[in-house]
Structure 1
Amino acid sequence: MVMLVVLFRTLSVFPLPLLHALGAAMGWVVYGLSPSYRKRLRANLIQAGYDAHWRGAVAEAGKAAIELAFVWCANPERVARHATVENWGLVQARLDAGRGIVFLTPHLGCFEMTAQQIALRTALTVMYRPPRKSALKPLVEGARARHNLHLAPANLSGVRILAKTLKGGQPIGLLPDQVPQEGEGVWAPFFGRNAYTMTLPAKLAQLGKADILLVYAERRPNGAGYIVRFVEFDGDLSCTGAEQAAAINRAMEQLIARAPAQYFWSYNRYKQPDGVVGPDSEATP
């Protein structure tokens, strides 16, 4: 693990176009060597109707892995120069009105970049799950806990921190397409198949009387940087927990449709967590 930290810090000095080129090649190596990875990536693409993008998805997955060295370890000012922001006015209007914001970011594009760009403009608290390898913890936490960017643990204590932050009119960030643990989610359709989906985003938004905004960072071709885009959430949250989760999943589908090759298709989104009873039936497309 120490060697991995050294590797990341070494890679961070290279230009982003070179890192993305290396990442694309690495994506193909992993795809060729791992049958289980290859099977899941293609199955999820087919389920979502995006199998035509599989070649791009292979390369983008490799870029997503290697760009972490740049985003986490390079000088923050250098990283910031590689991003442009669209529709910040959606955010500023809510900040000016003193309203809390729940930023929802799926595993699309460079999701680490979204938090950094928001934190350059306002304080942000994000839910954080420590890496399984303890040796990586200082690297990951140091990269994420930067100026204006605060971490809340993925437990009850962290939920309280997020709720308090929203009530104070400050924004928080969540990854809504992570599979939650038992008791923290409901089954809701995601690309036509039931996926165990967290209920926390809608609960926090209602508790803090906050607005939901969607955000993602799309990679530009040839390592030219990122475009961080903010998008209105138009789902209805005045309904049951299952309907709220379904509305948020639909919003994630709409974001993914903007850059389908850049979604994290190898993630086991449809797994059944320990202790969770499976869905009675799968949703229809």
Structure 2
Amino acid sequence: MERLKGAIIIGFLKVFSLLPFKLAQQLGAVAGWLLWITPNRSREVVRINLRHCMPEMPEDEREQLVYQTLLDSGRSFAESACAWMWKPESSLSLVREVEGADLLHAALERGKGVVCITSHLGNWEVLNHWYCSQCSPVIFYRPPKQAAVDALLRRQRAQLGNKVAPSTREGIAMVMREVRRGGAVGIPADPEPALKSGVFVPFFAVAALTSKFVPNLLRGSEAKALFLHCLRLPHGQGFKVIVEEAPEALYSSDVAQATASMSAVIERYVRRWPSQYMWSMKRFKKRPPGEQKWY
């Protein structure tokens, strides 16, 4: 059954990748609209997350944000399908603006290791191609359940000569070795980790179990940390990549403080582009002791 699901998903991705970018993006928005008008789990998870994270927002405005989020989620899926199946050059041609590229180049020139941090905001697949066009990093990722899809992503995400590392013991060791030898890595910071691998820190004033991997990776090293995001421009114009230096607190020996500072940077980006965040992710599945589950 998993093999069949994988084949269906890959077939669907191939169909999307044959379409012009703007049309694929528009069809993705239609898929998001269908999620909006029909009862489904994704829509409810978005509502739950926004209700807890933005309680100060008037209900009608928050419901409008749910709508915009689902449309942008559909766009993200369609864009990612194209990014997975196209040659990297096609995705790179959609990056219209880059802010802070000099920060990345300066960090790479140090030769002391570069840890680039991102989140599920905007389009991380287009970002992957842009980042890998600047250097040859190791990209850390969480493998999908379908083996065929995982094989596809491993191949497509490494088209520019970089490497990928799954979120397994071997993948973690691979990322650590790369940083120690002065190389570059890319890490999504917002997937919820196992309890032993995370710490509860604020995210939108809510306790969110957040991975300690990046702070632990930086501790005791001379590596430079940067935040990278790829935001969708309006009207199908493409994307803008933003590179930002990490705050000094991220290098703290206090893991909780460092993790909280990382979470705060991601929150700042999400507040600026709220509908482009993947609110359908069960980001708050694990709760502190004694707190009621959300989902």
User: Is the pair's TM-score, using the shorter chain for normalization, greater than 0.5?
Assistant: yes
> Does 2:254 correspond to 1:240?
yes
1:13 corresponds, among 18, 25, 29, to: 18
2:269 corresponds, among 237, 255, 280, to: 255
| 1:267 partner SS | coil
Q: Residue 102 of structure 1 contacts residue 174 of structure 1 at CA under 8 Å; is this kept in 2?
A: yes
Moved over 3 A (4+): 279-282
Q: Which residue of 2 aligns with 1:47?
A: 52
Q: Residue 57 of structure 1 contacts residue 261 of structure 1 at CA under 8 Å; is this kept in 2?
A: yes
Q: Residue 194 of structure 1 contacts residue 279 of structure 1 at CA under 8 Å; is this kept in 2?
A: no
Q: Residue 25 of structure 1 contacts residue 62 of structure 1 at CA under 8 Å; is this kept in 2?
A: yes
Q: Structure 2: how far apart are the matches of 1:28 and 1:78?
A: 27
Spell out the pairing of 1:18-167 with structure 2 (5 A cutoff): 18-49=23-54, 51=62, 53-84=65-96, 85-167=98-180
Q: Residue 31 of structure 1 contacts residue 37 of structure 1 at CA under 8 Å; is this kept in 2?
A: no
Q: What TM-score results when the alignment is normalised by the length of structure 1?
A: 0.91
Q: Structure 2: how far apart are the matches of 1:35 and 1:121?
A: 40
Change (3 A) 1:2 1:227: same
Shift of the alpha carbon at 1:59? 0.8
Q: Structure 2: how far apart are the matches of 1:121 and 1:93?
A: 12
Q: Residue 94 of structure 2 contacts residue 238 of structure 2 at CA under 8 Å; is this kept in 1?
A: yes
Q: Structure 2: how far apart are the matches of 1:75 and 1:111?
A: 16
Q: Structure 2: how far apart are the matches of 1:35 and 1:127?
A: 30
Unaligned runs of 5+ in 2: 1-5
Q: Which residue of 2 aligns with 1:4?
A: 9
| 1:257 partner SS | helix
Letter of the 2:86 counterpart:
A
Q: Structure 1: how far apart are the matches of 2:42 and 2:291?
A: 26
| 2:275 partner SS | helix
Q: Structure 1: how far apart are the matches of 2:166 and 2:130?
A: 21
Aligned-CA RMSD value: 1.9
Q: Structure 1: how far apart are the matches of 2:94 and 2:273?
A: 19
Shift of the alpha carbon at 1:280? 6.0
| 2:195 partner SS | coil
* Structure whose residues are more often helix by fraction: 2
Q: Structure 2: how far apart are the matches of 1:20 and 1:170?
A: 34
Q: Residue 115 of structure 1 contacts residue 124 of structure 1 at CA under 8 Å; is this kept in 2?
A: no
> Does 2:185 correspond to 1:172?
yes
Letter of the 2:134 counterpart:
R
> 1:241-281 CA deviation, whole Å, 9 max, x = no partner?
22222111111101212311100011111111xxxx83467
Unaligned runs of 5+ in 1: none
* Aligned sequence identity (%): 27
Change (3 A) 1:31 1:55: closer
Q: Residue 256 of structure 1 contacts residue 263 of structure 1 at CA under 8 Å; is this kept in 2?
A: yes
Spell out the pairing of 1:209-220 with structure 2 (5 A cutoff): 209-220=222-233
